[in-house]
């Protein structure tokens, strides 16, 4: 992990009508850092993630990525989206395309890369997430855990500088959670910059450099995982942890 910041949020606010969903959020993610965002339901974690690649416009404040303010539209927005991969709770694969076509689509259509070159990279990524032998199948023929691993390969095919994960295992059957977390852990170990919204505290403990705790749209506290889990400072974090860890 370097000291250089890749993602910086300054005084970010987001309102949905009267609802103050991001309340003056300041946060910086270093190149190669893995930040896990946790907090109660409705605390603004997804909105934070979506704001970082402009899926959600913010009401005020600034977000910079790799030294540049986030673009509003046009070519630079497309470039930002290809530099920041996003993996959602629902995998959103194209049902009528094969697994390999799903992974190749972004580089070929968005970045106009040559299919022969992309194919090799896509196959290597599918091998890496353990799906190489399923490349010619269609999404419905794969389990949820396999589809989510394809979604990760699809994001990686764009060779992103950072990856955002918004509850990537919440929609999975429990026995498939581990296989997705394993892929994410290996990415983290290789130095990918990651912002991960998750309720998987094991992943936070083992893979995060820093845990950020949000409540009511505010970034309440942040610390390295060993420190945060051993000694949460705020009552809200203590309360949240006591509930989640006893389940
Ligand atoms: N498009 C929207 N329009 C109106 N309100 C919204 C919209 N998206 C989110 N919200 C509200 O904003 C608040 C924060 O939502 P967000 O999804 O960011 O929280 P979260 O911490 O990710 O919650 P969860 O853990 O349940 O996914 C919630 O009260 C939610 O209902």
What tens digit of pLDDT does each residue of 32-47 get? 999 999 999 999 999 9
**Residues linked to residue 29 through DSSP beta bridges, in sequence order:** 7
Q: What does the alpha-carbon distance between residue 180 and residue 109 come to, in Å, rounded to a whole number?
A: 27
User: Ligand 1: which of 15, 17, 19 to mutate, judged by most atoms within 8 Å of the beta carbon?
Assistant: 19
Task: Look at residue 157 in the predicted model and tell me its pLDDT.
Answer: 96
User: What atom of ligand 1 comes closest to residue 47's alpha carbon?
Assistant: 18
Q: What is the pLDDT of residues 50-75, one digit of tens each?
A: 999 889 999 999 999 998 888 777 77
Q: What is the pLDDT of residues 162-211, one digit of tens each?
A: 999 999 999 999 999 999 999 999 999 999 999 999 999 999 999 999 99
Whether the ipTM is more than 0.90: the answer is: yes
Ligand 1 midpoint to CA 152 (Å): 23
Any atom of ligand 1 within 6 Å of the Cβ of 246: no
Residue nearest to atom 4 of ligand 1 (CA): 16
Residue nearest to atom 17 of ligand 1 (CA): 46
Q: What does the alpha-carbon distance between residue 7 and residue 160 come to, in Å, rounded to a whole number?
A: 13
For the chain, where are the alpha helices, taking DSSP H only?
Answer: 45-52, 75-83, 99-105, 115-128, 144-156, 174-189, 201-207, 225-230, 235-245
């Amino acid at each position: 992990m370097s000291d250089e910041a890749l993602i910086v949020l300054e005084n970010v606010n987001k309102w949905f009508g009267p609802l103050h969903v991001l309340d003056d959020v300041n946060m910086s993610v270093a190149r190669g850092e893995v930040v896990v965002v946790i907090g109660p339901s409705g605390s603004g974690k997804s909105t934070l993630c979506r704001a970082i690649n402009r899926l959600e416009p913010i009401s005020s404040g600034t977000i910079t990525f790799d030294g540049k303010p986030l673009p509003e539209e046009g070519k630079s927005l497309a470039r930002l989206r290809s530099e920041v991969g996003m993996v959602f709770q629902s995998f959103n694969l194209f049902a009528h395309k094969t697994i390999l076509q799903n992974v190749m689509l972004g580089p070929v259509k968005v970045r106009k890369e040559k299919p022969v070159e992309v194919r090799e990279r896509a196959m290597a990524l599918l091998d890496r997430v353990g799906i190489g032998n399923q490349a010619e199948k269609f999404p419905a023929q794969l389990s949820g855990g396999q589809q989510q691993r394809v979604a990760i390969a699809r994001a990686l095919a764009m060779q992103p500088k950072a990856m955002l994960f918004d509850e990537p295992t919440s929609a999975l059957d429990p026995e498939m959670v581990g296989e997705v977390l394993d892929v994410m852990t290996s990415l983290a170990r290789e130095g990918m910059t990651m912002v991960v919204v998750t309720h998987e505290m094991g992943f936070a403990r083992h893979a995060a450099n820093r845990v950020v705790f949000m409540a009511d749209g505010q970034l309440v506290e942040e610390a390295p995982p060993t420190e945060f889990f051993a000694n949460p400072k705020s009552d809200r974090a203590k309360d949240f942890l006591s509930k989640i860890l006893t389940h």
